[in-house]
Structure 1
Amino acid sequence: EKAEKLISSDCVAAVFGGWTSSSRKAMLPVFEDNNSLLYYPVQYEGLEDSKNIFYTGATTNQQIIPALDYLKEKGAKSLYLVGSDYVFPQTANRIIKAYAAANGMEIKGEDYTPLGSTDFSTIVNKVRTADADAVFNTLNGDSNVAFFREYTNVGLKPADMPVVSVSIAEEEVGGIGVQNVEGQLTAWNYYQTIDSPENNKFVAAYKAKYGQDKPTSDPMEAAYTSVYLWKNTVEKAKSFAVKDIQDNADGVTFDAPEGLVTIDGDNHHITKTARIGEIRSDGLIYTVWDSGQPIEPDPYLKNYPWAAGLGSSSK
């Protein structure tokens, strides 16, 4: 409804936003039917593309697969999957299970809970007794607060059974309580602590406007980057018209706070550097591993034989 208003009544050139895959999938037909543009800035489960959407958050091979590769490299041979009950966690976990089967990893358990659920005593007890090498967490929102508090209450520690989260950024750490997540791992493409001229400038400007105590995060940075990718495409096309943007998007770059990003004109995703981070006592997340260079987007995992059959291209 809001997307329809922005396009039809407000006549905007492009829309930047959306949160959760459910919101994006609800908006997708609106943008396609109206032939308008959405820039979606949140990591997601892949297996989608649209000529009317630019995906500026990570797709699976830029976040989830690097996280699995990292765990495998660290010797993890078993995982427990915990997620919210909606599109992203369910699809992500299908991909994780296919990866595990191809890489000799055992899935010790898989549990879903309604979005916003705060009762994790049963699930955390199952996690504790499963004795997995790591937990892969696709919970969203406030559920993370309850999960990690319960995890800490039963005496689980990152050193014994680390949790890798793909939806906890700096903004969420304060709400969860740093004492409940210190030492835990995250998989993103951006952290406030990246030391580069572009990021230092971005963080300083953000804090000057919103407050020194306000952290930046991956979705914020991807949204910021979206606007500049759109701007650079408009300047290349010398036009605001949707078709001209689509025709000129391929190869458009931006020196983003996360590093250089480039639009893939075929699938409308962007190149991104994968980063595994550790949450520290100051509430910030520090890179403990990165991919060294931007990873080409592969939303349908065409380059991964073990993923065959998980999803088919709309092209």
Structure 2
Amino acid sequence: MTAERERRRTEEPWRVGVLFSCSGPLALIEQTQLKGTLLAIDEINEAGGIDGREVVPVIYDPGSDDASFAAHAQRLMLDDQVSCIFGCYASSSRKAVLPVVERLDGLLWYPTLYEGFENSANVVYTGAAPNQNSLALCDYLLGRHGQRFFFVGSDYVYPRESNRVMRAFIETGGGEVVGEAYVPLNATRHDFVPIVRQLRQAAPDIVFSTVVGQATTFFYQCFAEAGLDSATMPIASLTTSETEVRAMGHDVARGHLTAASYFQGVAGSSNSDFLARFRKRFGDREPANMCAEAAYFQMHLFSRALAAAGTMESDVLRTCLADLELEAPQGPVRMASGSGHARLWTRIGRVDDAGEFEIIAEAGGPTPADPYLVSHGRNPTA
């Protein structure tokens, strides 16, 4: 190889794939993940890139369609020659992309809470597993709000599997599930009218919601318009973030609960600095959330792993990622050796009068992921 060819090779950018929906029913939340990803890329490049080479995203919009996620993932890896893909919100889209990255030996960096019971060598999981959010939320609700739960979810793999796990937690803790209902992913306000009617009749102590995307706003609005009250029947969720609260209106969201690794109200300079940069890039009115934060810090994890590896080869990157730690906006996070999952913080927030999540319970440190729930010990929050 001539010196000129070697110079061109070493100056070529690091190209990465980015797959988040900017259209369709999940665009409301996936666009925040795109923003977190792009902010981190900006920061990496402004700091000189990785080994002097900038990171360049190759971005496609799958339109909230699982088949399009799979098709774009294959296009990225075969046509665009990209081996690392940052993307997916819904578990169904992750599962659509999974065979592609496994067959072509790429890496999917997945910044979303999920239902667990998966551990692919070709996925980096930076969102919460059930023991990092569901378990603590269940304990909190049983101890403070009652024993009778009603499940409401979007009709796809994550809500159904998450509800299966939550049901086991509830019943082990002495509670019961008194009802369960599902709506289409593209549900409208009308789809929630009969569900609200069921809630009135069943009168549960808690509504556990795994509704996602734009439909979340319709559910909470319909709930409030029916005169149901968060003081006596709170909606507790793993998927309702600051973004959905802004969309539905803080008066509608007031008093409802979410368990997550990150809220905007997390104390510390890492988070305040992150929020300042996020708002400078996207506007003062743009809220950050758990999904944007995970998308942001996973890109910085990638940057550190790539700096150590010096190559985009999946096997080498995976080795360099093991036990890697960084100071994320949520607090210190660390990748586990061998599992591809991150140690994350466990927090519970309640929406206040201003539409912000007041953190009402949190663990004393990051919680190791246990995707297969091998340990069923309780993880109490303070």
**Under TM normalisation by the shorter chain, which class is it?**
over 0.9
Assess if the C-alpha contact under 8 Å between 2:145 and 2:206 holds in 1.
no
Instruction: Note the C-alpha offset of 1:13.
Output: 4.3
1:163 matched residue in structure 2: 235
Instruction: Identify if the C-alpha distance between structure 1 residues 286 and 239 changes in structure 2 by more than 3 Å, giving closer, same or farther.
Output: same
- Partner Cα distance (1:29, 1:114) in 2: 25
1:270 matched residue in structure 2: 342
The one-letter amino acid paired with 1:185 is L
The SS at the match of 1:22 is: helix
2:103 matched residue in structure 1: 33
Instruction: Note the C-alpha offset of 1:305.
Output: 7.9
> Which residue, 120, 127, 130 being the options, matches 2:192?
120
Find out whether 1:9 has 2:66 as its counterpart. Answer: no
> Which residue, 117, 126, 137 being the options, matches 1:67?
137
- Partner Cα distance (1:297, 1:260) in 2: 14
- Partner Cα distance (2:294, 2:280) in 1: 19
> Which residue, 274, 292, 301 being the options, matches 1:220?
292
1:197 matched residue in structure 2: 269
1:236 matched residue in structure 2: 308
Instruction: Name the stretch that deviates more: 274-283 or 256-265.
Output: 274-283
TM-score using structure 2 length:
0.78
1:283 matched residue in structure 2: 355
The SS at the match of 1:110 is: strand
- Partner Cα distance (2:186, 2:73) in 1: 24
Find out whether 1:209 has 2:307 as its counterpart. Answer: no
> Which residue, 142, 147, 156 being the options, matches 1:77?
147
Structure 1 unaligned regions, length at least 5: 307-315
Assess if the C-alpha contact under 8 Å between 1:277 and 1:285 holds in 2.
yes
Instruction: Identify if the C-alpha distance between structure 1 residues 75 and 150 changes in structure 2 by more than 3 Å, giving closer, same or farther.
Output: closer
1:54 matched residue in structure 2: 124
Cα displacement string for residues 155-184 of structure 1 (whole angstroms, at most 9, x for unaligned residues) = 111110111011111111121121111111
TM-score using structure 1 length:
0.94
Assess if the C-alpha contact under 8 Å between 1:261 and 1:294 holds in 2.
yes
1:111 matched residue in structure 2: 181
Structure 2 unaligned regions, length at least 5: 1-70
- Partner Cα distance (1:75, 1:202) in 2: 34
Aligned residues: 306
Over alpha carbons, which structure has the higher Rg?
Answer: 2
> Which residue, 143, 155, 168 being the options, matches 1:98?
168
Instruction: Note the C-alpha offset of 1:106.
Output: 1.1
Instruction: Note the C-alpha offset of 1:44.
Output: 0.8
Instruction: Identify if the C-alpha distance between structure 1 residues 305 and 195 changes in structure 2 by more than 3 Å, giving closer, same or farther.
Output: closer
Structure 2 counterparts to residues 146-157 of structure 1, below 5 A = 146-157=218-229
- Partner Cα distance (2:352, 2:359) in 1: 11
Structure 2 counterparts to residues 272-311 of structure 1, below 5 A = 272-304=344-376
Cα displacement string for residues 169-204 of structure 1 (whole angstroms, at most 9, x for unaligned residues) = 111112112111111111111011212111111100
The SS at the match of 2:99 is: helix
Give the root-mean-square deviation of aligned CA atoms.
1.4
2:90 matched residue in structure 1: 20
The SS at the match of 1:120 is: helix
- Partner Cα distance (2:216, 2:202) in 1: 20
- Partner Cα distance (1:265, 1:120) in 2: 43
